[in-house]
Structure formats: C-alpha cells, structure tokens
Chain A
C-alpha cells in the first residue's frame, strides 16, 4: 500500500459537493501526477487550480466518471475511468463514462499526443478514486460508530465485519459528501488490482457498431451551412484572384470569398502549422452542392514570395522563415544526399570516433531514406463553428483544444473566455489533428458569414493540404576491427525539414566511440508530427543497420543487441543516455522466447527489431514468405514493456493496429511532389495497406511489471519497419534502404 497526500503538489485539488437528489460529487484535478518540464511550468494556464474532472456517486450506487482527454482511438475514454474505478473499488458494471465537456478554461493538458494520457494522469486518477472511497468509509464508520480502519469495501459495498453491517456506496454517498476531503489517502497495492489489468470493452463500442453520431463530421445544428475550401494546387503558390461568376450561380450556393487564416502580423501558436493561409471558400446549403461549385470555381494562383511569421512555440517565440519556390521530391532527395555527404551539427561525441574509423579494418556505411507521408485519417479534416459578436463556439475533432482556443481568440480578436471548443470523438489522428488550422478556418468563415457552418475537407483537400511526415535521409557508419569487433558508430541524419536523430538513445551509451550529427533542409511544404515523430524513421534505419552490423560481426542479431545493452547497463558510456538498458533487453528476451527465435521454419523468413521511445520498450519479430516475389507477412510477435497495462485487450488491439500500420507505410505509402504539386490526391493513387495484406496472426506479449504505466499509441510503431526490412533481407538476400520498399506494388 502506498500513502499519498491528496495535496501532494500544488496542482492537486479535490472538492466534494452533495448532489441535489442525494449522492456525492467529487471534483478533482487530473493533472496531479503531471511531471512537466520547466518549460511547461512556465506556461501554466491562468486557471491552473480549477477542477477538471469528477466522479459522481448517485443514491442508487451508479458511478459516473468523466474522461477529460481527447479520444482518438487510443481508448482513453475507457482506460482512464478504469483507473478511477479501481481505487474507488466499484464494480465496472456500475460505471458510466462521460466525455467531459471540453472547456479549455478549466481543463489542462487536454491533449491527445505524445502517448502521455495514461502516464501523466496515472496518480491523479488513482488518488481521486481512493479519496472518494476513503470518504465513503469515513461516512460509514461515523454512521455505524465503529473505527474507520475496520471498514472494508468490495464492488461498491461497504462492510463492517464485526457487526455484520453493510451499505452500498449509494446509501452512504450523501453522508460522504459532507466529510472534509482527507489530506492523505492510501492507494492499493498493485497485486490487489481487480479492474486494472483486466480487459474491458470500449465504452463507445455499441454506438460505433450501430452508427450513432459520434464524430465531428456527424455534428449537425439547426440552420447550419456547409463550407469547403479551395487551397492552392501547389506548395509555393498563393491566392491571386477568384472568378466566382459560375460558382455563385449554382444551386444551393450562398457565398464565395477568400480568407486569410493567419495574417502575417498574427503570432501563431505551436500548432498553427499551415502552408496555405490564403485560400478560397464556398458556402452553401448542402455538401454535394458545395462540392459541385468547388469544381466550377476558377481561382488564379501566384508564386509566394519568401515570408516569415512569429510563432510562439515550444522553444519560446521564434521567427519562422518560409522559402519561395516550387519544390519536388527529386530535388529534395538530391539536396538531402548532398548534405548527407557533409559534416553536420554535432549532437553528441563519445570517445574518439575519428581515430576509430581511421584504424578500422572494415567500415560499413549505409544510407536510409523515407518520403513524406500523409496522415490520411479516415475522417477528413472538418470543424463546426458558430461565431457571433459575443462568442465563438466550435465543435469537432481536435487533438489540441487548449492550444487552438488561443489561436481562435487571437485570430478573431475575442477574449479567451469567449471561445468554447467542444470535442467529438476523432476518426483517427496520428498527429494530424494536432494542427488545427481547419478549426481556425471554420471560425473565420463563420465570423464572415454570421452563421453556423461546418467546414468539410474533401479527401483531396485533406491529402494535398500538407502537414506531412517529414522526408528523411540518415547515414549510419560502423567501424570494425580485424577481429570483427565493433569500434565505433557514427550517425548523421536530417530531413525536409527536421532531423530524426535522437543522439542520446541506444546505441549511444553502449559503445565507446560514438558520433551523432544532424542537418536540415528548409521547405515551404508544411510538416508535422506523425505517429512517433522522428522515431518512426530513425528506428527503421538504426535497427536495419544493426542487423547488418551483427551479420558482419558474425553474430545473431538478438545476441548482438543484448551484448551491447549489457555493456550499456554495466558500464554505460556517457551520462545522458535516455533509456533503461535492462528494460530494453527485457523486451528482446521476451520476443526471442515467444517467437522461438533461432528455430528455423522452412519457407519462413524472419526479422527482428527493438526500439525505445515515448517511455516504452518494444521488440518485434516478423515472419514472412514471398509470393510472386512480393512479401506476405504471415505473423508478427510484439513484446512490450509499458509498465502496468491498464486494459490488456485494448492495448493488444493498438499493438496489432500498429503492426499493420507500419507494414503498410514501410511497403507501399509515399507522398511525392512535383513542382510543388502533391502527386497523390486520393486512395486510388496513395497506396494504403488493405485487408488481404495484413498479417493473419499478431501475437502481443507484455512484460509483467509493477512500474507505473507509460505510453502505448506511439512506441509500438517504430520498430516494426526494421523487423520487416530485416525479414525481407532473409527472404531476398537484398537489403532494403529506401521506403517504401515496394512502391509500385
């Protein structure tokens, strides 16, 4: 048992209220367990002490738990309330989950991103549940005139063994509401968990399978109009003029105009990424009518001039410079290859890599590349807005409501408290809905037409709008001595526009001579986070490279990694290594055992990979065979260490999806540009993985752990790419360096 103070840091706050019909309401801060960086502390919202979640116990014993975080398919709407219910000690069947009303005035870290929802709220959720339970026990003790220590609970019922008395939580809720919030409560031992660690179904499952309105695109309002955009056909172009003579005459069309979402004078927020601030807008009565007018609208475009704007981002205020020009993937590749051949900015240097490479008997140098990717959430970008002189009301799918609220307020010239963002379930995010320019666009449109409006992107708008996963190029070099021992590793990487290099991750710390460098290429194509940003590429390069190095050393790829991790654990090089070598080795050992690594299967080719990012450790083995020269992945094994697993089957589901997602992007997907124009506009051109290409069998294994839970949405994704590349090598005798591996397939 762990005792925790309910006010153990200055951000914790609990408050109890009696409910009108009897029963209790315990309001609390979901932020209590946050361990923010100094930088985040500096950005504390003004209403930090406000309550942002509650649990409610009704007289009939029914428990309502609010889930505050955006639901994007990561299942937090189920798993976060499970944590509260555990410490409250109720039957999960008694629990109703509500999406908290989204109000960034009172909520904080209402973000779906960085795989942080469970990790950062773990202690706060537990404390809330335990506090309510403690107050119920105190109420029962007072009522029955017995010591509180003698009161036990189970499934929403209070017991006093000696007297044989019992009462439901509902019966004691009103009395409990009158008890002061205790200063200290006791959390359960992990071994006593009854709900955490058991699989519970998605609380929205029934609504999803019966087609109930849940998503932003489903939102309707009386008198609501439909808006669509026409954005520049190429990056590097902007709006010149609109000829709306045809479009205006078309049935159902109300208005045609241009907007500027982000005027040059506006300071943008961290998530106001947008390559096309100026564009044309059509507003009409129905989606189909607006779609027709969109085809008829004639817009003239002109090249942009280089421009810059202020962004109040993660590293404080910066000036962002946007170059002019019509860029192509071919020229990006050439530029990246050129920079890859030059020294970059040194991020970390251990030992004497220069001498090690000079003295090497063998040097292995390999280059890895990957293209831009579009997120392609199945629900295209959309948002509802109703802006009046008094307030701005917005409803829709957004991963970063509290950030976008500020952007809307700044853009419309409204005080923050006049902006209200309500959030719907999201039809996928993968990072794309961190960047809410579409929400600001909807607000600007509604302000202009003085009516409620829903902005809808067509698939083509969505796919050609940017905010892509950056394109990357990384070079790995290894120095081996005459005895095939590893002397040094050198990584130099960059991208358009970001570098994927994480200098302090493995293999840093496991090798005496190590050098990490980075470079970058400026672009006018907007890019952003894409499921495990940076990691999703650097893991594929690093883990493919280590496979090749192991082979050159004459070692088994798992044994070779384990030896390196052993070194990192027993005698680490440097002090900034950001991983736990023992946990890293743990997932490799687990996947080795589960996949029966080393036992050959005829016709089956296997590859292995492991990675650590977003606080969790994952190893994969993939098995494939070739059919007509093309890979068919038959089976995947995932070994995961994310600490305590709250909802195992839902966690396994996410791991399975991650394997499928990674196989698709590794083999098929790319977003290429020619003269600024995206060459893929819809799913007939952009190759997505489909049913028949998914592995038939995916085994997911979790390391048994008592460690507080860490994230899962992202860390399970990056290692899959290299496991696939390494299995492909076994199958074909060829190494795969450039993603996608089968672009024409």
Chain B
C-alpha cells in the first residue's frame, strides 16, 4: 500500500492503495467515480478512457503510481454541467443504445478534438478505432463528432 495524491477533475484526491492498482479501479472502487467503465482490462476496448493531461488514456492498464502530477479528467469532469459540445452533440444525435461504452467514446473524441478541432473521417476513424461499441452506434458517433467539431 502507498499514498497517492491525484489531481482528478481539478480536485486533489488522496488514496492509499497498491501502487500497481490501475487508475480505473482507483476511480471506481476507491473514489466511487463509476462513470469510467470496465470493459476488457487490457486496453482493447476503450470503455475506460480518461484524459491524462490532454491525452486519451486507457485507465485499466495505467498503474496509479504512473499518474504522478498529471491532471486526470474523467467523464464526470469533462464539463461542469454536462454541456461539453460533444455531450450536446451526443444528445442531439441520440447516439446511445445500451450506453455502456459511450463515456469512453466521448473521452476519446474529446481528446481528438482538443488536438485536432476539425478532423477528417479518416482522422476520426484513427482516433476512435480503439473504442468498441457492441450496439454498433459507430455511424452516429462519427456524425456527433462532426457536429461538435462544426460548432
């Protein structure tokens, strides 16, 4: 066990956990922030995507000891009032079916738009292909990303 100070969604949080614990389980089990989802545990599905700094990161394989001072943003902190342009576009396009993967999808898309505000279809594919949606909402997700990018 070891103490870690983590800057999550702008707030410093302290946890006492095994240093190897992935950030995902620190968020879910220790900080009761369950918006970030468990899907595969090996960075293959993207359900657990958060931002480490400005980079989309799979929190299921990121040991808490590797987070350091880098600010972490989760779906709960993406916007103050749930009104990030992507969140609004997701609602406008009524993207979700089961909804389980969507937090990870939105976090991947948000990191993309931060670095590339007007991505092409190919750039969207490249940034998003690590996020699986079992319901198959990919076509709508792409539309929502383009809608948000246009605003």
By a beta-carbon cutoff of 8 Å, the part of chain A in contact with chain B is 72-75, 199, 201-202, 204-206, 208-215, 217-218, 220, 226, 251, 286-289, 291-292, 376-380, 425-430, 456, 458-459, 649-650, 653-654, 656-661, 664, 682-684, 688-692, 694-698
Contacts and interface: CB of A to CB of B under 8 A. Distances in A.
Nearest to A656: B139
Interface of B: 1, 17-18, 20-22, 25, 28-30, 32-42, 44-45, 47, 74-76, 78, 82, 87, 90-91, 94-103, 106, 121, 124-126, 128-142
Q: Which 9 A-B pairs have the closest CB atoms?
A: A211-B35, A660-B136, A427-B100, A73-B98, A211-B75, A657-B136, A692-B125, A694-B138, A683-B44
Given A202-B96, A378-B98, A459 B40 contact: yes
A696 B97 contact: no
23 contacts: A72-B98, A73-B97, A204-B99, A208-B103, A209-B82, A210-B78, A211-B103, A218-B34, A288-B22, A378-B45, A378-B47, A378-B98, A379-B37, A379-B39, A425-B98, A456-B38, A660-B138, A661-B134, A682-B42, A689-B138, A691-B138, A692-B125, A695-B139
B112 to A, nearest CB: 11
B139 A209 contact: no
Given A214-B99, A425-B99, A459-B40, A649 B136 contact: no
Contact of B94 (A72, A649, A660): A649
Nearest to B94: A201
A291 B24 CA distance: 13
Nearest to A698: B139
Given A213-B35, A220-B34, A684-B44, 8 more contacts: A213-B34, A214-B99, A251-B1, A288-B25, A428-B98, A683-B42, A691-B131, A695-B139
Contacts of B18: 251, 288-289, 292
B124 to A, nearest CB: 7
A212 B35 CA distance: 6
Contacts of A72: 98
B118 to A, nearest CB: 18
Given A427-B100, A657-B136, A698-B139, A210 B37 contact: no
Nearest to A690: B129
A218 B130 CA distance: 23
B97 A217 contact: no
A73 B29 CA distance: 25
B139 A696 contact: yes
A214 B37 CA distance: 11
Contact of B99 (A199, A208, A661, A689): A208
A661 to B, nearest CB: 4
Given A217-B38, A380-B38, A682-B44, A688 B97 contact: no
A210 B82 contact: yes
Nearest to B121: A696
Contacts of B140: 653, 656
A292 B21 CA distance: 10
A533 B121 CA distance: 35
Given A427-B100, A459-B41, A657-B97, A691 B135 contact: no
A209 B98 contact: no
Would you call the interface of chain B mostly helix, strand, loop, or mixed? loop
Given A378-B45, A378-B47, A426-B98, A217 B37 contact: yes
Nearest to A697: B139
A469 to B, nearest CB: 14
Contacts of B76: 210-211
**Most central of B87, B124, B138 by chain A CB within 10 Å:** B138
A202 B96 CA distance: 8
Given A653-B137, A682-B44, A690 B37 contact: no
A166 B20 CA distance: 67
A220 B32 CA distance: 8
A376 B134 contact: yes
B134 to A, nearest CB: 5
A648 B145 CA distance: 22
B41 A657 contact: no
Contacts of A427: 37, 98-101
A292 B19 CA distance: 13
Nearest to B137: A657
A682 B132 CA distance: 12
B55 to A, nearest CB: 19
Contact of A696 (B38, B100, B142): B142
B35 A210 contact: yes
A661 B91 contact: no
Nearest to B91: A205
Nearest to A458: B41
Contacts of A214: 99
Contact of A430 (B22, B45, B130, B134): B134
A670 to B, nearest CB: 16
A258 to B, nearest CB: 24
A206 B94 CA distance: 10
Nearest to B87: A209
A682 B40 contact: yes
B139 A694 contact: yes
A380 to B, nearest CB: 7
Contacts of B124: 691
A75 B126 CA distance: 30
B119 to A, nearest CB: 12
A201 B87 contact: no
A696 to B, nearest CB: 7
A288 B82 CA distance: 30
A691 B125 contact: yes
A248 to B, nearest CB: 17
B29 A288 contact: yes
B132 to A, nearest CB: 5
A661 B135 CA distance: 7
A210 to B, nearest CB: 4
A124 B22 CA distance: 49
A379 B129 CA distance: 19
Contacts of B32: 220
Nearest to B74: A211
A217 B22 CA distance: 17
A711 to B, nearest CB: 15
Contacts of B47: 378
Contacts of B44: 682-684
B132 A286 contact: no
A201 B135 contact: no
Contacts of B42: 459, 682-684
A689 B136 contact: yes
A376 B47 CA distance: 13
Contacts of B138: 660, 689-691, 694
Contacts of A220: 32, 34
Nearest to B133: A378
B96 A205 contact: yes
Contacts of A292: 18
A691 B142 contact: yes
A631 to B, nearest CB: 16
A202 to B, nearest CB: 6
A428 B96 contact: no
A217 B32 CA distance: 12
Contacts of A74: 97
A694 B136 contact: yes
A210 B75 contact: yes
B129 to A, nearest CB: 5
**Most central of A212, A692, A698 by chain B CB within 10 Å:** A692
A459 B131 contact: no
Contacts of B129: 690-692
Given A682-B42, A691-B124, A379 B100 contact: yes
Nearest to A78: B94
A289 B29 CA distance: 11
A199 B135 CA distance: 19
Contacts of A658: 136
